[in-house]
Amino acid sequence: MKMSLPLIQGANRIPHAPGASGRGGVTTKNKWIIIGTAVVAAAALLTAGVLLMTKSIAFAPRDLQGAAAARSVIETPLLHTVTGERVFGASTADEAVKTTNKAENEKKEYTADAIPQVTGLKRLSEKPDSIRIGWDPIDGVDGYNIYRRDDNVSGSGYQLFSIAKTAGLDVRNLGTGSKYSFKVTPYIKSNNSVKEGEGTEVTFGTAPTDVENFRMTDETKSAISLSWDKNDRADGYLLERCYKGKWSDYQTFDQNTTEFTDADLEAGRAYYYRICAYREDSTGVMPGAKSAIRTVAGLLGPKDDDSASKLGRVSLDFEESKYADGYQIYYSTDQENWEHLGDTESTHFSTSRLENGKTYYFRIFPYKTVDGHDITGTYTELSFVANKEIYDKEVGDTYVEVSLDDQHMWYIVDGDVYLDSDCVTGNYGSADTPKGYFEVNGKASPCTLKGEDYTSYVTYWMPFIGGGWGLHDADWRSSFGGNIYKGNGSHGCVNLPPKVAKEMYAVIEVGTPVIVY
């Protein structure tokens, strides 16, 4: 390739040096470097992927004579490095080019026997299926070979796993709660070969999975028993306890321990527990995620108090549990899958209509509200076969049902709920509404009810025990249900909201069974 290079400060000559004699007088320190467009051209060719190798350009002015002049010719590299800088006025060719690639010039060189060993190899972070490892970087090496061994597989050996250019690596898709050994070796490239230094080995583990089925299995006034499922990929378990708002490391268990009883507790006091499985490796203890439960010492499942199935429902009646603010009710048909039925602050709970002849299981959990959270205690489990009988009678598909505990009335027609409403029954303890199986024996609208010390005017009257006890409207009441009957109950009748009494009166027939329980 031919290139036309213009001369600096004149097209065909080098200028006279100050004080020189003759037209051709030139000294070496007055030689000018010819670069100009040559540098630009060289850079352009390099950018295009063409390696331009230019050793020197020699020239002589027309007025130089002889071999001495020829020996005075300047040899000037056009380009030293891509990042070099052209410097005019430099006294030598080496001073004319500065390199900014200091890291390349300062790169350390090692023989294969002298490559430093990796130090500071450690686990930086971990998850159940991944870890990040790191080490101290080594100047002058070209990279690192990372070998891995699966310590969960018997007889497993090291295999080249990855090659890193920097001092760190994310290792993904690992088994949870597993242990792996890593060996990191630095390497250098020399004479078209790779030389590897001595490896540094360390064993790391992934975090174990959550502890499953962490639960309270038993409780007394001063002790709480806990249990959990065994985690085969754990070396042990760490238990923390919170008492009076302060968390502390409480107990450490080995892999085979899956239960613990905390004794000497303060009855009625809330205790919180957290447990996690852990793995141990060369860097220490590695805990997994924590599972937590809240408990109250002495919050025990209530004792049953004549619960029964009747009229296709189950009526749960139980004694009060000390320290309880209320009760959560769950049910199941297979003792494996449990559903929340509802909550009650009383010691009674009635279900909706159930499938006749089918077995149902119930769990009654007392709860105490602490810091806005409902903490449950141990539970009482009961089971019943749903049936339509009550008071030794088989009830048909149309009837009136009144629950004194629930203060609620249902009017069932052909097996379906036609009407239901809160009600108010006889004043508790002094004028209780009689329990039993009865039938509607008449209807009147309007009607005046008279007793020894009262007279009441009603619009819809449906007696079921002689002419003294019946269902009727009570427009003098503004509310129904709840505990009104305890202190402000009726004289023995079942008081209904006027709208409900009107609708029932329109369709009910004499002879319809009325069951009060």
CATH of the domain at 265: 2.60.40.10
Whether residues 181 and 84 share a domain: the answer is: no
Whether residues 117 and 87 share a domain: the answer is: no
Q: How many helices (H) and strands (E) does the chain have?
A: 5, 38
Burial degree of 146 (CB within 10 A; 0-12, 13-18, 19+): buried
Tell me how far apart the alpha carbons of residues 234 and 142 are, in angstroms, rounded to a whole number.
38
Contacts of 275 (CB under 8 A, 6+ apart): 211, 214, 226, 228, 237, 238, 239, 240, 290, 291, 292
Query: In the numeric block, which tokens belong to residue 258?
Result: 């899956």
pLDDT for the residue 453? 84
**Is 19 among the domain residues?**
no
Q: By the 8 A CB rule, do 273 and 279 touch?
A: no
pLDDT for the residue 106? 52
Looking at 105, 137, 163, which one is the last position of a domain? 105
pLDDT for the residue 107? 55
Instruction: Pick the closest to residue 510 from 392, 388, 391, 400 (CA basis).
Output: 400
Whether residues 405 and 508 share a domain: the answer is: yes
Buried residues in 359-386 as b, exposed as e (16+ CB within 10 A)? ebbbbbbbbbeeeeeebbbbbbebebeb
Q: Which domain holds residue 44?
A: 28-105
Whether residues 47 and 138 share a domain: the answer is: no
pLDDT for the residue 382? 97
Instruction: Pick the closest to residue 217 from 229, 225, 209, 205 (CA basis).
Output: 225
Domain count, the chain: 5
Whether residues 476 and 397 share a domain: the answer is: yes
pLDDT in tens, the chain (517 residues): 434 333 333 333 333 333 444 434 443 333 333 333 333 343 343 343 433 333 333 333 333 333 333 333 333 332 222 233 333 333 333 443 343 344 444 557 777 678 999 999 998 988 888 899 999 999 999 999 999 999 888 888 999 999 999 999 999 999 888 889 999 999 999 888 899 999 999 998 888 889 999 999 999 989 999 999 999 989 999 999 998 889 999 999 999 999 999 999 999 999 999 999 998 877 778 898 999 999 999 999 999 999 999 888 899 999 999 999 999 999 999 999 999 999 999 999 989 889 989 999 999 999 999 989 999 999 999 999 998 889 988 888 999 999 999 999 999 999 889 999 999 999 999 999 999 999 999 999 999 999 888 899 999 999 999 999 999 999 999 999 999 999 999 999 999 999 999 999 999 999 999 999 9
For residues 231, 233, 238, 240, the Cα torsion angle rounded to the nearest 10 degrees is -50
**Is 401 among the domain residues?**
yes
Whether residues 135 and 192 share a domain: the answer is: yes
Tell me how far apart the alpha carbons of residues 401 and 350 are, in angstroms, rounded to a whole number.
12
Whether residues 86 and 195 share a domain: the answer is: no
pLDDT for the residue 30? 37
Whether residues 479 and 413 share a domain: the answer is: yes
Looking at 263, 296, 329, which one is the last position of a domain? 296
Instruction: Pick the closest to residue 180 from 209, 199, 154, 152 (CA basis).
Output: 152
**Is 337 among the domain residues?**
yes
Whether residues 101 and 143 share a domain: the answer is: no
pLDDT for the residue 61? 38
**Is 287 among the domain residues?**
yes
Tell me how far apart the alpha carbons of residues 128 and 135 are, in angstroms, rounded to a whole number.
22
**Is 210 among the domain residues?**
no
Whether residues 324 and 291 share a domain: the answer is: no
Instruction: Pick the closest to residue 266 from 325, 328, 326, 323 (CA basis).
Output: 323
Looking at 141, 176, 205, which one is the last position of a domain? 205
Whether residues 278 and 338 share a domain: the answer is: no
**Is 16 among the domain residues?**
no
For residue 45, which phi and psi values (nearest 5 degrees)?
Answer: -65, -40
Q: Is the pTM of this model over 0.85?
A: no
**Is 348 among the domain residues?**
yes
* DSSP helix/strand/coil, 118: coil
Order of strands, edge to edge, in the sheet holding 122-127? 122-127, 130-134, 168-171
Distances (CA, A) of 455 to 364, 448, 474: 44, 7, 13
Which CATH number is 466's domain given? Answer: 2.40.440.10
**Is 6 among the domain residues?**
no
Whether residues 169 and 269 share a domain: the answer is: no
